[in-house]
């Protein structure tokens, strides 16, 4: 089965503590993984940031939510057990324990709202039924990033050939290619030589050269014949390295053809192009930065 939504972790977590014994996070992860019949691949799935596994994240937040609702306690470091209030909840045999269920406990409301506000965070709580806070934030980040990619790609497609050429130059320089801006500006978009739009230094010393083809297309995908033409132009230059950039996409045949070549030809489609531009801060600016912090347990160790 697939990894259950976050809200389906909380009740099983509490049920595994019904024996009134102290348990560790490792025990709980193993127990829930077994209960949900999770495969090795599912256990290895990570949150979008890649910092932790989805299972560890959801088990960890189940512990936090239950502790904030005073249904479990942590009498010893790294260990926890159920409280009388937790046993009372289990006796009620709830079908699921989610944030809405936990709102009956004032300590949980204080944790979620941070004040006496009640309804302002309803939408947030609804999302937290399926995702943990980190997953919700990362999902929001992914959504914002995809929208940015789409807007950036539309800007490139509607730009002039000269502007697109400049964007390619800026990206190559941002990635460490091209030597100086003057060199790059002279190299790209000037040759038009048999399917080659430019040649750029692979490093600042110019120890090797990379040939470039750039197509600012708004519709059809770039097919195998276009890539073959570019490869033919490379062979005419006795070149072994080339980059084919497009604001469109490549057909399956074009991609498979490029993968079988002896020479190194990199295909960069529109989505990859704007992703690289974003990574190297070309045509984008930072609006806000959020630091997520956690308690440094080592700091509180007393000798």
pLDDT-based confidence at residue 258 (cuts at 50, 70, 90): very high
Looking at residues 235-256, what average pLDDT do you find?
A: 90
Residues 87 and 167 reside in one and the same domain: no
pLDDT-based confidence at residue 39 (cuts at 50, 70, 90): very high
The DSSP output letter for 292 is: -
Backbone phi, psi, residue 186, to 5°:
-80, -25
Per the model's pLDDT, the better-predicted residue between 201 and 21 turns out to be 21
Instruction: Compute the mean pLDDT over every residue in the chain, rounded to the nearest whole number.
Output: 84
> pTM for this one?
0.62
Total domains in the chain come to: 2
Residues 161 and 234 reside in one and the same domain: yes
Range among 34-48, 145-159, 162-176 rated most confident:
34-48
What CATH number is associated with residue 186? 3.40.1340.10
104 assigned to some structural domain: yes
- Three-state DSSP at 47 gives coil
pLDDT-based confidence at residue 139 (cuts at 50, 70, 90): confident
Q: Residue 148 pLDDT more than 70?
A: yes
- Three-state DSSP at 257 gives helix
Burial tier of 99 (Cβ tally within 10 Å: 0-12, 13-18, 19+): buried
Looking at residues 15-41, what average pLDDT do you find?
A: 94
The predicted structure's pLDDT at residue 85: 96
Q: Which residue, 83, 106, 74, is CA-closest to 14?
A: 83
102 assigned to some structural domain: yes
Residues 103 and 201 reside in one and the same domain: no
Residues 175 and 273 reside in one and the same domain: yes
SS (H, E, C) 135-192: HHHHHHHHHHHHHHHHHHHHHHHCCCHHHHHHHHHHHHHHCCCCCCHHHHHHHEEEEE
pLDDT-based confidence at residue 1 (cuts at 50, 70, 90): low
192-230 residue pLDDT tens = 555 667 777 777 666 778 888 888 888 789 999 999 999
pLDDT-based confidence at residue 164 (cuts at 50, 70, 90): confident
The predicted structure's pLDDT at residue 118: 43
CA distances from 17 to 61, 83, 85 (A): 16, 9, 12
Q: Residue 61 pLDDT more than 50?
A: yes
Q: Residue 11 pLDDT more than 80?
A: yes
Q: Residue 173 pLDDT more than 60?
A: yes
252 assigned to some structural domain: yes
First to last CA, the chain: 46
All residues at 6 or more sequence positions from 149 whose CB lies less than 8 Å from its CB, including other chains: 271, 274, 275, 278
Residue that has been written with the tokens 């990206």 in this structure: 171
pLDDT-based confidence at residue 116 (cuts at 50, 70, 90): very low
Query: In which domain, by residue range, is 206 found?
Result: 155-279
């Amino acid at each position: 089965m697939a990894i259950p939504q976050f809200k389906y972790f909380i009740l099983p977590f509490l049920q595994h503590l019904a024996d009134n014994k102290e348990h560790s996070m490792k025990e709980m992860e193993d127990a829930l993984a077994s209960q949900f019949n999770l495969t090795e691949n599912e256990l290895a799935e990570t949150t979008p940031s890649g910092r932790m596994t989805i299972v560890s994240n959801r088990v960890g937040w189940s512990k936090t939510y239950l502790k904030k609702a005073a249904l479990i306690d942590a009498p010893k470091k790294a260990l926890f057990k159920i409280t009388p209030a937790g046993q009372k909840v289990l006796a009620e045999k709830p079908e699921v324990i989610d944030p809405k269920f936990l709102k009956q406990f004032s300590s949980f409301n204080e944790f979620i709202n941070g004040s006496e506000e009640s309804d302002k965070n309803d939408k947030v709580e609804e999302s937290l039924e399926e995702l943990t806070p980190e997953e919700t934030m990362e999902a929001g980040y992914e959504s914002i990033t995809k929208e940015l990619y789409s807007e950036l790609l539309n800007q490139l497609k509607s730009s002039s050939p000269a502007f697109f050429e400049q964007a390619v130059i800026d990206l190559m320089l941002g990635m460490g290619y091209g030597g100086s801006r003057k060199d790059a500006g002279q190299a790209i978009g000037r040759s038009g030589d048999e399917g080659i739009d430019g040649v750029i230094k692979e490093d600042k010393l110019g120890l090797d050269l990379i040939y470039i083809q750039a197509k600012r297309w708004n519709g059809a995908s770039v097919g195998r014949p276009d890539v073959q033409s570019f490869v033919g132009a490379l062979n005419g230059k006795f070149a072994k390295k080339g980059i084919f950039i497009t604001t469109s996409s490549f057909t399956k045949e074009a991609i498979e053809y490029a993968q079988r070549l002896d020479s190194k030809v990199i295909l960069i489609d529109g989505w990859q192009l704007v992703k690289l531009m974003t990574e190297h801060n070309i045509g984008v600016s930072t609006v806000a930065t959020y630091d997520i912090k956690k308690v440094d347990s080592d700091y509180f160790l007393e000798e």
